[in-house]
Structure formats: C-alpha cells, structure tokens
Amino acid sequence: MDYIENFIILKKGKFREYDLWLKVFSPNKGLQTYFAFGGLKSKRRFCGCLDILNILCGKIENKKKGYYILQEASLIENFSLIKQDKKKIGVVVNSLNFLEKIKISQEEFKQVYLLLKDFLYSIEEAEDISFFPLLFKTCLIFNLGYLPHFDSCLKCKRTIMWEKETFFSFKDGGFFCMYCKKDNFIKVPIATLKTLKTIAFSTPKDWMKWNLDVNLKHTCYEIVNNFSQYHLQLAI
C-alpha cells in the first residue's frame, strides 16, 4: 500500500552500493526507518535531496513484512544555513538524540512533528541558540503528558503565582505552597516557576525574542533535568 507523507530526515546510512536507509519523523507515522533503493544514484526519483535535516514530501510503500520503501521524494526545505554552522548542527543533533529516546504515542506524532519543524526553522534564523536545547526538550517533555500544574498548590489549591517562592515535587509533577511542602520538595523561586510556565506554552518562534538570564536558565535546567530523569529515566 502506497501513501504520501511529509517527513524530516534525522539520520541516514548506506547499505549495498547505491542504497540508503533513512531514519525519519513524520506527522502521521512518527519515528520510522525508510529504505531508499537507488538513493545514491537515482536523480529522477530523489533529486539528490536525501540529506539529514531535509524536509521532504515522499511516496512511501508499506510492505507486508513491516518495512517501508521510499519510492520517490521532493524537497520542501534543506536548512542550508544550519548545515553551514557547526554550533547549530551541534544543537540540533543534541536535541534530536533526546527526541529519539522518548516514547511518543500516535496521538502526539503531529504535535511533535510541528514542534520539530518550527524548531529547525527558528534555529535557521536565530543568532543566540545557546538555550534552544533546554527550551526544545522542556516543551517536548511538558507536551507529552508531563505538564506540571503551575498556578496553584496541588494540595490546598492556594494561588502560588504571587508567592516569593514555591516548592516542587518531582513525584507529583507540580508545585506546593510553603504550608503544604514536605522536606523532600525543592525550593523554587517564583521567577523560575513563571519562566517554566512561559516555556511550556511557547513556540520556537517565541524563543528567538528571548534573552534568558544565566542563573534563571540554570535553575530551569536543574528542575527539568531532574524531572525528566524521575519520569523518563533520561537526562536532558
């Protein structure tokens, strides 16, 4: 059965003389491996567009044995500016490696695909990308069913957005007021809570306008990293 799909190439490799395997992410199928027979030779079917980070529109054949053959493809975007910048390449590779390790359900494929696509377009244009991996991974985690409760204490429902500090529980995935905190909760400045909430509901286009304070970036990283390790067993 053949179908048409847009996808982003995350990795590729050669097998046999002219053939390629492609690890891709698409909005309807998620993370998959395609086989492009003649991928190194056929300019008519692939137009030399089978490069990492390219967004393509392709015709895919779903074989009964459970593997996918890329019959032909056309280029949508190649992100040439990213590929000319070693720092940007490093940021993207770091983020993609994290993405590949996370379990993503079918209902979340499109959401993650759009986040990844916007992430690449924004890195292409942005000058300061030092905090992009943190923002990408935070958005990814929060939008895959691990969004903390930000606005009120999880126990007493007291509004905490105007407190000087709050207390975060990795196990419960939310914040507590000073009256409901336990000894194993970590203290979180309110500025960090508000920043995490802003990140959770932001898009990569928003990040291009931001200039995160170094200390704020560090505290956000510590919380998200520990949160990810607790729930996903993955460091960011």
Taking the C-alpha atoms of residue 34 and residue 28, their distance in angstroms, rounded to an integer, is: 14
- 44 in a domain, yes or no? yes
Residue 179 resides in a domain = no
In a domain, residue 209? The reply is yes
Q: Which pLDDT does position 42 carry in this prediction?
A: 67
Name the domain count of the chain: 2
Picking from 28, 62, 78, the residue at the C-terminal end of a domain is 78
Tokens coding 147: 């969004």
Residue range 145-162, pLDDT digits in tens: 899 989 999 999 999 988
Helix, strand or coil, per DSSP, at residue 115: helix
What would the mean pLDDT of 35-40 be, rounded to a whole number? Answer: 81
Global pTM value? 0.91
Q: Please name which of 79, 90, 88, 94 lies closest in space to residue 129, comparing C-alpha atoms.
A: 88
Please give the pLDDT value at position 37. Answer: 87
Mean pLDDT for all residues in the chain: 91
The whole domain housing 208 covers 86-147+189-232
Residue 81, judged by CB atoms within 10 A of its CB (0-12, 13-18, 19+), counts as exposed
Domain end residue (candidates: 28, 61, 78)? 78
**Residue 107 pLDDT more than 90?**
yes
Last residue of a domain, one of 49, 78, 107: 78
Task: Record the tokens describing residue 99, joined without a space.
Answer: 């993405």
Q: Which helix (H) or strand (E) holds 232?
A: helix 214-232
> What does R_g of the chain's alpha carbons equal in angstroms?
21
- What's the Cα-to-Cα distance from 141 to each of 21, 117, 186, 228, rounded to whole Å? 28, 16, 20, 7
C-alpha span between 20 and 60 (Å, rounded): 14
Alpha helices in 33-171 (DSSP H): 43-46, 80-83, 86-101, 109-125, 132-142
Instruction: Kindly state whether residue 160 falls inside one of the protein's structural domains.
Output: no
DSSP state for residue 233 in the 8-state scheme: S
Phi-psi region of 142 (alpha: psi -120 to 50; beta: other; left: phi over 0): alpha
pLDDT of residue 213: 87
Q: How far apart are CA 118 and CA 109, in angstroms?
A: 14
